[in-house]
Each structure stands twice: as C-alpha cells, then as structure tokens.
Amino acid sequence: MNLSELKTGRKALINKVKGTGSFRKRIMEMGFVEGKTVEVIKNAPLQDPVEYRIMGYNVSIRKAEAALIEVSEDCSTQNDTQKDNGLHVVEPGKVANAQRQDNVINVALVGNPNSGKTTLFNYISGLREKVGNYGGVTVSLKTAEVKFGGYTIKITDLPGTYSLTAYSDDEKIVHDFIIDQVPDIVLNVVDASNLERNLFLTTQLIDMDIKVVVALNMYDELENSGTKFDYGLLSKMTGIPFVPTVATKKTGIEDILARIVSFYNGEEDISRHIHINYGHPVEDSIKRIREVLEKHTDVNFLSTISPRYTALKLLENDGDFNNRVRNLSPDYREISSVVEKEKGIINEHFEDETENLITGAKYGFIAGALKETLTVNDSSPSAVRTRRIDEFATHRIWGIPIFLAFMWLMFQATFTIGEHPMNFIEFLIDGTADFMAGFIPQGMLNDLIVDGIIAGVGGVLVFLPNILILFFFISFFEDTGYMARVVFIVDRVMHRIGLHGKSFIPMLIGFGCSVPAIMATRTINSKKNRIVTMLVIPFMSCGAKLPVYILIIGTFFPDNPAMMLFAVYTIGVFIAMLSSLLLKKTILRGEDAPFVMELPPYRIPTLKSTSYHMWDKASQYLKKMGGIILAASIVVWALGYFPRPADEDATDLSVLENSYIGRIGRISEPVFEPLGFDWKSNVAIVTGFAAKEIVVSTLSILHSTEEGDDLSERLINSGSFEHNGSHRLKSFTFLIFILLYLPCIATVVAVKNESGKWKWAIFSIFFTTSVAWIVSFAVFNIGKFL
C-alpha cells in the first residue's frame, strides 16, 4: 500500500520510495528510507497535507507525495535500528593540519533548520541575528570574529540545510561556501533531541574529509527526556569531537571554542580519518572513478575537494559537481563515461538507483553508531507537550478559527495596548513643537523645524509602540514553533492558488518587512514559485504601512479599529493569493514543487530572544527616523514652502496649493481623481515610494495649516477624505491603495537581487500599482453606488 492510504494513528514500515528527481532524494535524506517506521499523526484542517512522525520528529507531506512512498503495515519485520554491517571504516592516523599563515581560524557554522545554529552564533559572537523556531530564518551569510586562546576565530553562520545537495538557493550557499572557501573547521550544530535525522548532514561532512566539530545543541532537552547518550564513545568512533551545548543558556560555548582551537592545532587524541563503507560494488566504483578523476582533473581542484567525495557526488547525479568537473577537466567525456558505466553496474547489482543506496547506507551508519551509544525514551516531556498543543492548534475543526483568533488578538493588542504610550509620545512631540516655536524666531528656520522636521518625523515616531507590539506577537509565533503549524494549516489553500506551502512563511515575514521576506524565498526550490512569491509579497501589510493604517483607522474608524485592521491585513493576503493564481496561470506557468516541511517541537520563547527581536525592529524604525524619513520630511516641507508668494497676506492654504508640491498634486489628479483622492493624498502616495512611513509625515506636513490639536483632528477638519457627509469611503479606499501599491525602493532592489533580473523588479512596480488602482477604483465606485 501507499503511505497516503495509511489511516490516522497507524504505523507502517517503509518499503520503497518511488518517483524521480529531487523529491525522491530529499525525502530519503529526511529519513524516509527502507526499513524505517512511519506513523500518521493527523491531516491538516483542510485534509491536506498530512503530518507524519519518523525518526523521532514530525514532518508534513502532501498526499500526492505520500502516494509515492510504498509501505507495509506488517511491522513484524521492523528493522528500525538497521544493522551496522561494517558501515564505518576507520583509517588510522590524525587528520592533517590545515596550512595556516597566522592565528586566524576560519569556521563555517552549519546545521539543520531548527537546530539552534543562529542562537549559538549569537551567543558566541555577541551579535543579535534573527532566530526562529521554523526553517528558513537564516537565508544569507553572517560573519563575526571572537578572540579565544590567542586565536581570532572567524565564524560564518550559513543557512540551515538538511543536506549538502543544493535543492534551493539557501542550500546552494552552504554547499558553495564549504567547497569554495575551504574553512579550517566546520562547526556542525545538531539538535541533540533528534540525533538520527540531524546526523545525516554530519555523514556528508565526513565524506568531504574536512575537520568537523559537532555541537550537541539543546542537550538539556535530551537529558530531560530521560534519553541516555554516550557522546564520548561516538566521538572515538567517528574521530569527531562531540560537545554538549545549550545555546539559549550559553552552556558549552567555551567548550566549543576550546575544541575548535585544539582540533585546529592537531591536539585532539580522538582525531582520525574515517570513511563510511558503502559496500560492494559501490566502493569498487568509487575507487575506479577516483582513479580517472586524478588522471584527468585539475590538481588544484582535487587538492581542496576530496576525490572520494567528488566520486560520490558524481555517482549521486549531483548537477553542481558534474558542472565543476566539466569545467575543470579537458577529458570530461572520459570521466562521464566511466561514471555512467559504474552507475550501470551498481543499478544492475541492486536494482536501485545509486543515490538511494548511498542515502540508505548513511542512515545505516548512523543507526549502527547510535545503537551502541543511545538509549531513547520516547515519552519525552517535549514530545508530549507538542502533541497536546497540536491537538488544538492544528485541529481539523478548530485549527483555522484558532489561527484567526490569534491574528485578531494581535491587532486588538496593537491598538488597545499601544494607545497609551502612543498618546504619551504624542504629548512629548507636541510639547517639543510648542517649545521650539517659541524659542526660535519666526521665519523660515522656525517653519522648517516645527512644520517640517518635528511634524514630519514626529508624525511617524508616535507609532513606535504599535510597531513594537506587532513584532512582539510575530516573534512569539516564530519562536514557539506555531509559524510552521500555520504553513501546515494553509498549504492546501496555497497549493490551489499555485503557490508552495513554504511561500506562506515569506508572506508572513512580509508582515514585518518585505526585504527579509523576499530574501526568505530562497527556501523555495522552484524558481518560478520563488518569483511569484516575490511579486506578491508587497501586497502584505509590512510594518512600514502600519503607521498609515493606525492613523486612518484610528481617525475614521474609531468604533472597531482592531476589526478594521484585521480586515486590511486579510484583504492584502487575499489579493496576494488571487495575484499568484493569475501569475501562475499566465506568465509564470510551471509544475508545482513537492511539499515537505518539518514541524518542530513547541518551545517556550526566551525573554531575551523576544526582546532582541523587538529592539532590532525598534532600532531599524529609529534609524529610518534619522535617515530617509527626516530627509523626505525636509524635501516635502521645502516643496510646500517654495516658491514664496508675492502677496504677503496670502492664506496658508493658497500658498500650499501654489507651491511645487501643490503643482505635483494637481498634475497627478487625472490618475487619482477616479479613486476619490484630493491633491494632498496624491502627494502622500507619491512620496510613499521611498518608504511607506513617509505617507504619514507628508500628510502631517500638508495638513499642518488645518485647525486641530493633533493630526487626526486636522484630517477630519480638512475634508480631504469626506464624501457625501461621510469620511469612511474615501479613507477606506486610501487604505486599500496604500496596502497594494508599488513597493518601497529597498523592496524593489531586493526583488532584483533575489531574482537576478531588473525586469522582475520593474514588473513588480507596474504590477502592484496596477492592481492597487483597479481594486481601489472598484472599491470607491461600488461604494458610491451602494
């Protein structure tokens, strides 16, 4: 039978993984290999994907992919531990020392997603890089230096990866860095509570013949579960130092650094060179391919990359290594001929593909090693806690309502809790403006400081508390592991509209900022799915838009602000989904990528981690105040101040209408008049291209001549948003346009960098603005009709 036919709560033994290409290899690398037991936990609320448990961890797979895995419910032949079968061969002698010119040790930090790699990096380096309890948080290289034992240890944090086979752009970053930069030491961070799956990456590092130190992170969870692990014996067996760590508590940090220095200097007694024995005839094929490689390939290439590892990657049909060998060997055809011949011999002998045999052998090696060193307690507190929470969080009936309730709670708190500190900041800004107005003599400088800088920057600064509250909730969802459950819940909807379930994580990150959200699309394997996701991310309500929402909703919809904010965010998601469906049906047609995603255990967020997230966003927000928003406020004020009228008795309103900015607003009227916007709103929209917060500062400056103690009162008194005695239709239409129209400059550049082409960046400008105009036109005119 197929895995998709297995009922909830039932277990089965994996017999075979069918299919071809990257899915088959990836699913096997994640532990779906012959002889392993898999259990069906539950279906998602929309019945697809399905959550399974294998090798002590939970993973979600769509039914279409599960149908490619052949299983048997007869577990009497269970061989979950797998026999060792001499799968590890130890070669005596210490690993050779790296050639060094100084006291700098280059360390590459690698590990599976959710292994706590970046948390460890933060505590070693003292930096505050973003962490989260779901895959894909780290999507770029981050480097830091630390002094220890007379050495400068230069650590590079690489994206999380399950394998060194590059399926997605973030995994390619890891693969290329280790191959091209040749670090002195690889610090492999593994989740100690999930060793069998995490050690697969370690076996690939062993094949590379490089120096490895393993950090057994979250070791406290392993100990609390009652599991016993003799990591000292495993160190001796593999020739690799295994060091227990608890990154969140800074436990084991100095031990890690000490072992790095010791291993680098060749002072580790356990250090020895091992190979994983893949058995006959695979080992014979490796030997013959090595011989032809050493004969026909660039010597420098084989001096930095193990010939044995290269031979293995060629046998595994690794496209990157095929290209590398092709570029560096004048006799690639002869090498390719030998490789194909050897694959044919292996396939004929085993009646299976070589890469599957190699993957199975690695897990056999891991199983044999853990059989001698690990005693597992399946009823760990972490696993029990996760199962109990998921009974509600991903319940088939209550899962979606619970998610929506969390979203509503986040928006309600953003308004209600943020109102008091917001009022206090507004009081301070008004007091500062009054003081400066009385302190500085009347004239252009007074107007610049009071009506330009304080009105512009202060009009945005007042929303800082709301920004912090929003990011507190987002950080909480990320750190607990709930974010991965949201993807599990919505994948079927995402699949129907042509997006991958993993696209939802970048879209959720887009609630914070579009730039890191677009970078997070690197975790999506399909190039077309990546581009579609990039193009729809600007429709998400980023933190920069939040000040505009709070201003307009708080002014014109004070009765139920949380529900209005929830509606705006929901409309953004809805438009993003419709747009992705349109793009996938037209210019970006392509096959759907398989969905395979780990569901990490729930963890309690630390106050320090959450505070780091909030402070990081606050500091970015404040930097904008002193940078682009300050500059834009001065420019907007100057455009509204000049040219000065000849008539000194001219009213402030007539001066503003005849200024440069007034002329810009009038010129743009034919475009925006069908949407119901006046010229002041037009100007705010135009300036918002630099950064969406500038919309608020522009409105603050342009309405500074109106009567009222605060900006809300001045907006009401101005009549800019009034229509037939009501402000609701125009203000709501304005909100929709701000939600959907062109992304900021930084986002446009991010689209270009991640897609590799300016055409997609330029297309995103025209596409989002066209969607914004059409939707806003429909809202305004349907509203008028009703």
- DSSP states along 36-76: -EEEEEEE-TTS-SEEEEETTEEEEE-HHHHTTEEEES-GG
Bigger pLDDT: 525 vs 38: 38
**527 and 642 together in one domain:** yes
| 368 CB-side CA count, 13 A | 18
Average pLDDT, the chain: 82
**CA–CA distance, 734 with 721 (Å, rounded to integer):** 9
Say if residue 108's pLDDT is above 90: yes
Q: Which stretch of DSSP H or E encloses residue 105? A: strand 104-111
In a domain, 694, yes or no: yes
Q: How confident is the model at residue 103 (pLDDT cuts 50, 70, 90)?
A: confident
Reported as a single tens digit per residue, the pLDDT across 224-250 is 888 889 999 999 888 899 999 998 888
- Greatest mean pLDDT among 166-180, 367-381, 438-452, 578-592: 438-452
User: What is the CATH classification number for the domain harbouring 212?
Assistant: 3.40.50.300
Q: How confident is the model at residue 725 (pLDDT cuts 50, 70, 90)?
A: confident
Residue 349: give its domain's CATH number.
1.10.287.1770
Find out whether 133 and 113 touch, Cβ atoms under 8 Å: no
Indicate if 332 and 249 belong to the same structural domain.
no
**Would you say 121 and 167 are in contact if contact means Cβ atoms under 8 Å apart?**
no
pLDDT of residue 591: 63
Same-domain status, 350 and 456? no
- The pLDDT assigned to 190 comes to 93
- pLDDT of 203 over the 50 cut: yes
* Residue 559 domain flag: yes
291 & 255 share domain: no
Report yes or no on 320 lying in a domain: yes
Task: Specify the pLDDT at position 137.
Answer: 47
Q: Give how far the C-alpha of residue 10 lies from the chain's centroid of Cα atoms, to the nearest Å.
A: 33
Same domain (yes/no): 694, 775: yes
HSE-CB for 194 with a 13 A CA cutoff = 29
The closest of 269, 419, 249, 276 to 357, measured between CA atoms, is 276
SS3 of 224-274: HCCCEECHHHHHHHHCCCEEECEHHHCECHHHHHHHHHHHHCCCCCCCCEE
* Token couple for 771: 């969607």
The letter for the amino acid at 398 is W
Residue 358 has pLDDT above 90, yes or no: no
Q: Is the pLDDT of residue 132 over 60?
A: no
DSSP code of 304? H
Residue type, 671: V
Is a pLDDT exceeding 90 seen at residue 196? no
Q: Are residues 152 and 188 in the same domain?
A: yes
Per the rule left: phi > 0, alpha: psi between -120 and 50, beta: everything else, 294 is: alpha
Q: For residues 624 and 444, which has the higher predicted lDDT (pLDDT)?
A: 444
Which two structure tokens, joined as six digits, stand for 553? 């909703």
Identify the band that residue 216 occupies on the pLDDT scale cut at 50, 70 and 90: very high
Lowest mean pLDDT among 98-102, 653-657, 673-677: 98-102
Mean pLDDT of 743-748: 84
User: Tokens standing for 183?
Assistant: 């670090």
The band of 774, judged by pLDDT with boundaries at 50, 70 and 90, is very high
pLDDT tens by residue, 20-68: 666 777 788 888 888 889 999 988 888 888 999 888 888 888 888 888 8
User: 139 in a domain, yes or no?
Assistant: yes
Q: What is the pLDDT of residues 134-151, one digit of tens each?
A: 444 445 678 888 898 889
* Cα distances (Å, whole numbers) of residue 525 to 310, 391, 714, 751: 24, 30, 50, 17
The verdict on 239 and 158 lying in the same domain is yes
Report d(CA 99, CA 567) in Å as an integer.
Answer: 61
Give me the mean pLDDT over the 10-17 stretch: 89
Tens of pLDDT, residue by residue over 758-767, are 999 999 999 9
Residue 108 shares a structural domain with residue 243: yes
Residue 514 in this model has a pLDDT that exceeds 70: yes
- Look-up: residue for tokens 């914070």? 512
Is residue 144, in this structure, part of any structural domain at all?
Answer: yes
Residue 258 resides in a domain: yes
What's residue 48's pLDDT? 84
Residue 159: is its pLDDT beyond 90?
A: no
Q: Which of 264, 297, 324 is the last residue of a domain?
A: 264
The pair of three-digit structure tokens given for residue 55, joined into one six-digit string: 């090798």
* Predicted confidence (pLDDT) at residue 480 exceeds the cutoff of 90: no
Share of the chain above pLDDT 90, in %: 17
As beta bridge partners, residue 42 has: 51
Indicate if the pLDDT at residue 509 is higher than 70. yes
What's the domain range around 42? Answer: 3-82
- Number of domains within the chain: 4
Please, is 532 exposed, middle or buried when counting C-beta atoms within 10 Å of its C-beta (0-12, 13-18, 19+)? Answer: buried
Which residues have a Cβ under 8 Å from the Cβ of 474 and sit 6 or more positions away?
Answer: 410, 508, 511, 512, 613
* 524 and 667 belong to one structural domain: yes
DSSP output for 162-223: S-SS-SSHHHHHHHHHHHHH--SEEEEEEEGGGHHHHHHHHHHHHHTT--EEEEEETHHHHH
Residue 71 lies in a domain: yes
Which range among 214-223, 679-688, 705-714 shows the weakest confidence by mean pLDDT? 705-714
Burial class for 375, CB neighbours closer than 10 Å (0-12, 13-18, 19+): exposed
* 58-67, 263-272, 498-507, 701-710: range with lowest mean pLDDT: 498-507
325 with 299, same domain: the answer is yes
Q: Are 133 and 85 in contact (CB under 8 A)?
A: no
Can you tell me the mean pLDDT for 466-492?
81
User: Where does a domain end: 49, 82, 115?
Assistant: 82
Average pLDDT for 379-386: 70
Which residues touch 663 (CB under 8 Å, ≥6 apart)? none
Same domain, residue pair 126 and 231: yes
CATH no. for residue 58? 2.30.30.90
pLDDT at 168 over 70: no
Q: From CA 780, how far away is CA 767, in angstroms rounded?
A: 20
Do residues 341 and 349 make contact, with C-beta atoms less than 8 angstroms apart?
A: no
pLDDT over 50 at 345, yes or no: yes
Flag whether pLDDT at 84 surpasses 50: no
pLDDT greater than 60 at residue 99: no
Q: Which of 82, 115, 147 is the last residue of a domain?
A: 82
3-state SS, residue 523: helix
The whole-angstrom separation of Cα 189 and Cα 443 is 63
Predicted local confidence at residue 381, as pLDDT: 67
Q: Which of 185, 203, 21 is nearest to 106 (CA)?
A: 185
- 376 pLDDT exceeds 70? yes
Say whether pTM exceeds 0.85.
Answer: no
Domain match, 749 and 717 both: yes
Indicate whether 672 belongs to any domain: yes
What is the pLDDT at residue 653? 65
Average pLDDT over residues 341-368: 84
Nearest to 216 by CA among 189, 240, 184, 237: 189
Pick the more confident residue, 300 or 362: 362
What confidence category does residue 594 fall into, taking pLDDT thresholds of 50, 70 and 90?
Answer: low
Q: Residue 21: what pLDDT?
A: 64
Cis peptide preceding 281, ω within 30 of 0: yes
